[in-house]
Amino acid sequence: MFFSGRLALCLLIDPRLATLTYAAPHLISSQAVSYQLTAQGLPQAMGVPGALQSAASTSAVRMVASLPREAYMPDTGVDDKNSFLVLKDDRWTSTDTLTPDLVDGEISDCQLSQRVDADGEVEWEVESPITFSYRVRESRDVLDPASDTLLFGHLTNARDLARAKSRKLKRVVVVDETVHALYGDRVEAYFEAHGVETRLLVLPTTEENKNMDLVLEIAEAIHELGLDRRLDPVIAIGGGVCMDIVGFAASIYRRRTPYIRVPTTLMGYVDASVGAKSGINFAGKKNKLGAYLPPALAILDRSFLASLDQRQLSNGAAEIMKMALVKDGELFELLEEHGPALIQHKFQQLPEEGAGVDSASRVLFLSIHTMLEELAPNLWEDSLSRLVDFGHVFSMELEMAMLNEEKLFHGEAVAIDMAFCAVLAFVRGHIDAEFRDRILKTMAGLQLPIIHPKFDNEMVDEAMYERIKFSQGQKIPLPVGVGVARLFNDITAEQMYEALDLWPELAARAVEAAN
């Protein structure tokens, strides 16, 4: 018990300790070695004399170097062979034993193993952890020529920054048509002020045009300008569709080209800009082609939201409502209290609020923070059990069905889905009537649609078929309390049809109450 407690403490202090102990003990910090030595029987947990630390560390290296990997790695079978991958003298070497001549090399986190089956056939397996780091940053005025965030904010080390500043700057800049009409002069003036060689693409980045043609047009511009594949990011300035298209183009040009997102819509600000996904529509289905490549940087400038109309603001507010319902009771209560005012004042500070109080800023912060909490541990969607799928189970069918007639924005389709799911949660007994009505009224107060005539039995059946087919089961998020949701796999068709029958009357009452 004493040993296991100390070992747990060691791992809390340095989570890499287990790996370093068997693979690279020379990289263990002196404090970590101190704890390791104590686990072997020395009386002090900390403060082991430096000479003793040094000697013990050397002994540990010799001990590990003299043992084959199988002596301190789990046994995977007599015919398995697991190897270190070590970089020494510009060459990677796989080795079963970390010999003294390789100890000062760079030891990879990857593993290469081989296995011989009963028929004598060999199989190699590569285990390679991939880590991406990206940042989401608030900025007061990203197009101010005095700021260089848009040019260099994506660089995280001094060497890359010095290299980038020592050469002529090149940028492919993709701007949505509507955004260019409003901010085109400022965008062009910014890059001119910094002497940047720019290829500016003004494109109709709408859901109807979210296709491979625009992706290839962007890729062609990247190719022609000759961007550095590590230092020169492509810049997307626009809404969620713009950022999706640019992100996909960046992911396929030379397999990985850095890009920066500058959202100009509320939907882009709280949803499309903060995750790793990109995608385009294909075969009549939403986002059927795509990739997981996060931006090097997402820059959030709230001043862009002041130019949006009510419908665009409400559209983005749907994704905020989603996070409120599945994650955060405070966020729900802020929307319940201030929703109409937030739309009216375009998510800028509310006029009745004094210094130190900014409900709009708090709402945006909570929305983004809770979204990143859910996305970060599952960035590549290895798990398909995702609370952030709330509102995105039935809505995709509805959104694509209405793409060319009385078009619904993405957030509007999501809102209709969420409203239905609130009624479904009530039918199943997860929430009471009071909370159900609060949800519908709050959504109506955000001027979101909460019912649609095309959302019928047939659409529900089709959406559930698609969901089960591509998500390995239902995995339907439903609210179970204020700011709390759970995933369910046992929803019956009868429950959904009952919710569909109950829904119209409840939606009509909510709209009346909100007005």
Would you call 29 helix, strand, or coil by DSSP?
coil
In 10 A of CB 169, how many CB atoms? 17
Would you call 357 helix, strand, or coil by DSSP?
coil
In 10 A of CB 406, how many CB atoms? 8
Structure tokens at 348: 């800028």
Looking at CATH, the fold of the domain delimited by 319-514 is given as Dehydroquinate synthase-like, alpha domain (1.20.1090)
Closest CA to 510 of 417, 412, 433, 396: 433
| Residue 411 one-letter amino acid | G
DSSP 73: S
Q: Which helix (H) or strand (E) holds 264?
A: none
Euclidean distance between CA atoms 146 and 154, whole angstroms: 17
Would you call 336 helix, strand, or coil by DSSP?
helix
Residue recorded with tokens 């890729």:
219
Euclidean distance between CA atoms 18 and 33, whole angstroms: 11
Closest CA to 142 of 109, 196, 83, 189: 189
DSSP track, 83-119: EEEEEETTEEEEESB--GGGTTSEEPS-EEEEEE-TT
Catalytic one of 81, 277, 346, 475: 277
DSSP 4: H
Closest CA to 274 of 178, 153, 364, 190: 364
Provide the pairing of β-strand 197-203 with 170-176. parallel
Q: Name, in order, each residue with C-beta under 8 angstroms of 3's C-beta and a sequence gap of 6 or more.
A: 39
Structure tokens at 99: 């010999």
Residue recorded with tokens 């370093």:
20
Cβ contact 244:272 at 8 Å: yes
Euclidean distance between CA atoms 451 and 422, whole angstroms: 12
Q: Name, in order, each residue with C-beta under 8 angstroms of 322's C-beta and a sequence gap of 6 or more.
A: 388, 390, 391, 414, 418
User: What's the whole-model pTM score?
Assistant: 0.79
* pLDDT at residue 79 in the model: 52
- Look up 475 and say whether it is catalytic: no
pLDDT tens, position by position, 89-114: 889 988 888 788 887 899 898 989 88
In 10 A of CB 432, how many CB atoms? 12
Angle between helices 433-445 and 410-427 (to 10 degrees): 170
Strand partners, 93: 86
Q: What are the φ and ψ backbone dihedral angles of 449, each rounded to 5 degrees?
A: -70, 140
Q: Which helix (H) or strand (E) holds 413?
A: helix 410-427
Q: Name, in order, each residue with C-beta under 8 angstroms of 380's C-beta and a sequence gap of 6 or more.
A: 276, 292
Euclidean distance between CA atoms 479 and 439, whole angstroms: 10
Q: Where are the domains of the chain?
A: 2-65, 69-127, 135-307, 319-514
* pLDDT at residue 39 in the model: 30
Q: Which helix (H) or strand (E) holds 137?
A: strand 135-138
Angle between helices 30-39 and 50-65 (to 10 degrees): 70
pLDDT, block means (10 residues), the chain with 515 residues: 45 44 38 29 33 32 37 46 84 84 86 88 88 90 96 93 92 97 97 97 94 96 90 95 96 94 96 92 92 95 97 98 98 98 97 91 97 91 92 94 90 97 98 98 98 95 93 95 97 97 97 94
Buried b (16+ CB within 10 A) or exposed e, 300-309: bbbebbeebe
Q: Name, in order, each residue with C-beta under 8 angstroms of 6's C-beta and a sequence gap of 6 or more.
A: 35, 38, 39, 45
In 10 A of CB 204, how many CB atoms? 12
DSSP track, 443-495: HHHTT-----TT-SHHHHHHHHHHHHHHHTS--EEEEEETTEEEEES---HHH
Euclidean distance between CA atoms 34 and 28, whole angstroms: 10
Would you call 424 helix, strand, or coil by DSSP?
helix
pLDDT tens, position by position, 204-257: 999 999 999 999 999 999 999 998 878 899 999 999 999 999 999 999 999 999
Please give the span between the terminal C-alpha atoms of the chain, in angstroms, as a whole number: 64
CATH code linked to domain 135-307: 3.40.50.1970
Euclidean distance between CA atoms 495 and 481, whole angstroms: 19
Euclidean distance between CA atoms 378 and 385, whole angstroms: 10
Q: Which helix (H) or strand (E) holds 181?
A: helix 177-193
